[in-house]
C-alpha cells in the first residue's frame, strides 16, 4: 500500500468522525415485550402450560431484536437473567436454524436472516416505498439532500426510490448498484448481515475501487462495518462518486430484522461537520419513523 493511498484511507470519514455517540441498548426496553396490534393477553382461565426452553429461546430472539448492535454472550445472559450455559446452548440451536447470527471477532450475536425470510413469506403486506414516501419527501425538503431508499435483492443492492433535493441529479438513480461497499446505503445493511452473507456479496461483486477513497480490501470493509454497528449509521465519503457525501441508516421490520436502508447525500463542497451531524440526526429519525410503520 503506497503512501498516497494510505493518506486517502486515513482521510475518509467514518461514523466516529461525525459523532462520538454510540448506539445504546436500553435495559428496560430489552426486558419489555412489545405486543403486536390486536394481540390480547391470555384469559385468566384455561390452559396456560408453557415450554420453558421455547419461552427462553423467544426471550433471546426478542432481546437481540431490541438491541441496536451485536451482543456478547455475557451481555445476553445478564439482560435475560439466564445462566451462561443455558444461553450458550439456546443460541447454538438458534444459530443452526438461522434465527441468530454470530460474529467471530469480537465473539458476539445478532438477529439472523431467517426471521426476515419467514416474514417475507407472509406476502407484501407492507409496501415499503409507498409507506416510506411521506418521510422521504420530508427528509429531502428539510435537508435539501438527495434522498434514497434501498434494499438488497439477493446480493444486489437495489435503489427503490430516489428524490432529488437542492443538489440536483446525481449518478445512477434507480436500479441495481453493483458496489454496495462503496455506498452508505449498502454499508448500512451489510453491517448487520451474517458474515457468510457479506462474503457472498463480496464474492459476487468484488470490491472495485470506484474512486481513490473506495474501500478495496475485506479488512477495511470489516472495520468500517464494525464502526457502523457501533454508531448506528453509515458514511459514504466520496467512495461511490467524487462529488458526493452521504449518510444512511437501516430500516427494521417488526421482528427487528434489517429490510432496507434510507440515506441522504449532498455535494461534497456543501458539507462540513456541523451539517453532517445535523443530516445524520435527520436520517436516523427518518429511519426510525419508517421502521415504526413496518411494525404497525
What is the rounded CA–CA span in Å between residue 215 and residue 217?
Answer: 6
**Does residue 205 have a pLDDT over 90?**
yes
* 27-31+50-112 and 125-294: identical CATH topology: no
**Does residue 218 have a pLDDT over 90?**
yes
| Crossing angle of the two packed helices 52-66 and 73-80, in degrees rounded to 10 | 110
| Structure confidence at residue 256 (pLDDT) | 82
| Structure confidence at residue 25 (pLDDT) | 33
Tell the CATH superfamily of the 125-294 domain. GAF domain (3.30.450.40)
| Structure confidence at residue 45 (pLDDT) | 45
What is the rounded CA–CA span in Å between residue 225 and residue 191?
Answer: 5
- Determine the 3-state secondary structure of 156 from DSSP: strand
Helix (H) or strand (E) run with residue 149 in it: strand 146-153
**Does residue 201 have a pLDDT over 50?**
yes
Nearest in space to 279 (alpha carbons), one of 10, 15, 8: 15
Q: Domains of the chain: which residue ranges?
A: 27-31+50-112, 125-294
Q: What is the chain's mean pLDDT, rounded?
A: 81
Q: Residue 27 — very low, low, confident or very high, per pLDDT cuts 50/70/90? A: very low
Q: Residue 21 — very low, low, confident or very high, per pLDDT cuts 50/70/90? A: low
pTM: 0.63
**Does residue 74 have a pLDDT over 90?**
yes
Give the model confidence (pLDDT) of 41-60 as tens digits. 334 445 556 789 999 999 99
* More confident site: 155 or 37: 155
* DSSP category for residue 123: -
Q: What is the dihedral of CA 91, 92, 97, 99, to 10 degrees?
A: 20
- Which grid coordinates are listed for 194? 451474517
What percent of the chain is predicted at pLDDT more than 90? 53
Helix (H) or strand (E) run with residue 194 in it: none
**Is the N-terminal amide bond of 288 cis, ω within 30° of 0?**
no
Which CATH fold would you assign to the domain 27-31+50-112?
Answer: Arc Repressor Mutant, subunit A (1.10.10)
Work out the average pLDDT over 277-282. Answer: 95
Angle ∠(149,252,81) on CA atoms, nearest 5: 160
Q: What is the CA radius of gyration of the chain?
A: 20
| Structure confidence at residue 153 (pLDDT) | 85
Amino acid at each position: 500500500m503506497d503512501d498516497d493511498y494510505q493518506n486517502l484511507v486515513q482521510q475518509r470519514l467514518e461514523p466516529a468522525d461525525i459523532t462520538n455517540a454510540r448506539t445504546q441498548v436500553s435495559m428496560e426496553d430489552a426486558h419489555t415485550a412489545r405486543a403486536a396490534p390486536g394481540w390480547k393477553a391470555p384469559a385468566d382461565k384455561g390452559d396456560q402450560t408453557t415450554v420453558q426452553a421455547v419461552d427462553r429461546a423467544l426471550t433471546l430472539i426478542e432481546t437481540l431484536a431490541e438491541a441496536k448492535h451485536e451482543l456478547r454472550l455475557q451481555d445476553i445472559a445478564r439482560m435475560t437473567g439466564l445462566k451462561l450455559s443455558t444461553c450458550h446452548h439456546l443460541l447454538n440451536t438458534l444459530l443452526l436454524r438461522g434465527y441468530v447470527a454470530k460474529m467471530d471477532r469480537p465473539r458476539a450475536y445478532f438477529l439472523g436472516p431467517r426471521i426476515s425470510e419467514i416474514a417475507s413469506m407472509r406476502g407484501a403486506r407492507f409496501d415499503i416505498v409507498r409507506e416510506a414516501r411521506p418521510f422521504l419527501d420530508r427528509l429531502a425538503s428539510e435537508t435539501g439532500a438527495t434522498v434514497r431508499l434501498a434494499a438488497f435483492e439477493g446480493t444486489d443492492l437495489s435503489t427503490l426510490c430516489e428524490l432529488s433535493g437542492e443538489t440536483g441529479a446525481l449518478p445512477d438513480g434507480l436500479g441495481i448498484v453493483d458496489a454496495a461497499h462503496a455506498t452508505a446505503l449498502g454499508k448500512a445493511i451489510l453491517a448487520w448481515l451474517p458474515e457468510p452473507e457479506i462474503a457472498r456479496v463480496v464474492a459476487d461483486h468484488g470490491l472495485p475501487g470506484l474512486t481513490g477513497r473506495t474501500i478495496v480490501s475485506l479488512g477495511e470493509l470489516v472495520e468500517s462495518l464494525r464502526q457502523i454497528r457501533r454508531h448506528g449509521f453509515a458514511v459514504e465519503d466520496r467512495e461511490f462518486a467524487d462529488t458526493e457525501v452521504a449518510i444512511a441508516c437501516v430500516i427494521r421490520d417488526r421482528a427487528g430484522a434489517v429490510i432496507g436502508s434510507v440515506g441522504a447525500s449532498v455535494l461534497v463542497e456543501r458539507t462540513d461537520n456541523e451539517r453532517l451531524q445535523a443530516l445524520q440526526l435527520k436520517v436516523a429519525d427518518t429511519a426510525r419513523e419508517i421502521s415504526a410503520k413496518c411494525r404497525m
